[in-house]
Amino acid sequence: MTLRHIYDAIIVPAAVILPLCAGIYTWRHLGKAEKWIWFYLIADGISDMVASYMAHHGMNNLWVSHLYTPIEALFFLVYYQLTIKDILIRRIIGVVMVAYPLFCLVNAFWIQGLNLLNTYTLYPESLIILALGIICFMERSDAPVAVRGTTEASIAWFNAGILIYMAGSLFYFLFYNFFAIHKALTHVFVVAHSTFLLSMYLSMMIGFLRCRK
């Protein structure tokens, strides 16, 4: 097992424990939106474990990504519906919550199929979440976090983590299937993706810890 494998397959997936523990530590201070993020991390950890187990036993685990992507998107969409105040945006999120899983279903069975990574759905997911993250920050640019209440500081940390992960991984999601065919330099992007994921976990850990202040 190479150092890269240890980093990608063990250290980064295991790092999800950090924000989860931080969330348990501050559980009674968490609002509804923060609890959604905590449950998202649980789903994320489970999907990682299942995918790693299947990869370790030489099984095709691409369907896990097809199944997990709409679930992940729903967690983020609900989170932003709870944190964004603009009614129109919240309505649009409601429509996306129905349309996006349908698109994932169509993609899984009729467009890309289960033998390719769902890049066609991962890329729009990143774009949607990036847009919502930017809107979330813009809505909060009129008043300082300190005078808004305890969960506002954590929202900024969650949002920053999600933005870094989604923005950093956007091109990785787009070209993943190309990398899978042309193996050269693929590991650079995998390590970069893992690092963005790790930064999101750490950011969320800080976000949970900020909830108690």
Partner 1 sequence: MPQVGVNSDNVYIITFLGMVGMLLLTLALIQFYVRNQKRLLRGVEEKRQAELKHQKDLTFAIIQSQEEERKRIGRDLHDDVGSALSNLKLYTLQWEDSEIVRKLIDGIIDKARNISHMLTPAELELLGLEEALEEMCRVIHQSGSVKVFMDNAAGEELDKIPYDKALSLYRVFQELFTNTLRHAGATEVHLHFDKPGDLILAHYQDNGRGLKGKPSSSGMGMQNMESRLEMIGATYELDTSGTGGFGIRISLPV
CA distances from residue 153 to 5, 88, 200 in whole angstroms, order as listed: 35, 24, 15
CA atoms within 13 Å, Cβ hemisphere of 210: 19
Distance CA 127, CA 136 (A): 14
Q: Which is nearer to partner 1, 3 or 184 (CB)?
A: 184
Choosing from 172, 206, 207, 209, the residue that interacts with partner 1 (CB under 8 A) is: 172
Give me the least distance between CB of 107 and partner 1, in Å please.
Answer: 21
Give me the least distance between CB of 151 and partner 1, in Å please.
Answer: 15
Choosing from 1, 95, 98, 147, the residue that interacts with partner 1 (CB under 8 A) is: 147
Contact status: 156 vs partner 1 (CB under 8 A): yes
Query: Which residue carries 């424990």 as its tokens?
Result: 17
CA atoms within 13 Å, Cβ hemisphere of 211: 25
- The per-residue DSSP string of 120-164 comes to HHHHHHHHHHHHHHHHHHHHTSSS-GGGT-HHHHHHHHHHHHHHH
Contact status: 180 vs partner 1 (CB under 8 A): no
Torsion of CA 89, 94, 98, 99, to 10 degrees: -10
Give me the least distance between CB of 85 and partner 1, in Å please.
Answer: 16
Question: What is the largest distance, in Å, between two alpha-carbon atoms of the chain?
Answer: 53
Part in contact with partner 1 (CB under 8 A); list of ranges 10-18, 39-47, 71-79, 164-172: 164-172
**In this structure, how many other beta carbons lie within 10 angstroms of the beta carbon of residue 101?**
17
Contact status: 41 vs partner 1 (CB under 8 A): no
Size of the site for partner 1 (CB under 8 A): 31
By CB under 8 A, what part of segment 63-102 binds partner 1? none
Choosing from 18, 27, 168, 191, the residue that interacts with partner 1 (CB under 8 A) is: 168
Give me the least distance between CB of 97 and partner 1, in Å please.
Answer: 24
Cβ 1 vs Cβ 186: under 8 Å: no
Part in contact with partner 1 (CB under 8 A); list of ranges 14-22, 24-32, 70-78, 184-192: 184-192
Query: Site residues (CB under 8 A) for partner 1?
Result: 130, 134, 137, 140-147, 156, 160, 163-164, 167-172, 174-175, 178, 182, 184-185, 188-189, 192, 196
